[in-house]
Copies of this chain bind each other. A is one copy, B any other.
Amino acid sequence: MSDDTTMTIRQMCDTYDVTPRTLRFYEAKELLFPIRQGTKRLFTRRDRARLKLILRGKRFGFSLEEIRQLLDLYDVGDQQATQLAKTYELAKHRLDDMVHQREELDEAIDDLKKQLEWGAKRLEELHAKSAAE
């Protein structure tokens, strides 16, 4: 059931915790390309992979437009050389961004850890005080 079958909009919503509106919106923005059975949308394995990347991208603060361009990267069919080259450059910059973002995230994690240690000490102190009374 998991691989080559298509999913209805509701199955998608339940699986990925998004609303129908969101999926239709993503289709309108050409982020997803569900096939049509009559009037209804059927989401393929490809759509699901793309949706996962979309949701991940959002968590890192990318706009939908930026995500769309990144998705095209993972989906180079028969592009022109010039187009492919542009896409390639774009991706390299994105990669730099992400590596830089990773460094920042490490810092942020360290900062927060220190705050936590500090907080733990304060809590201990307060606890010792209240026990002494």
Contacts and interface: CB of A to CB of B under 8 A. Distances in A.
A32 to B, nearest CB: 19
Chain A interface residue bracket vs B: 35 or more
Contacts of A106: 102
Q: How many copies does the complex hold?
A: 2
A8 to B, nearest CB: 27
A79 to B, nearest CB: 9
Interface in A78-129: 81, 84-85, 87-88, 91-92, 94-95, 98-99, 101-102, 104-106, 108-109, 111-113, 115-116, 119-120, 122-123, 126-127
Interface of A: 56, 58-62, 70, 73-74, 76, 81, 84-85, 87-88, 91-92, 94-95, 98-99, 101-102, 104-106, 108-109, 111-113, 115-116, 119-120, 122-123, 126-127, 130
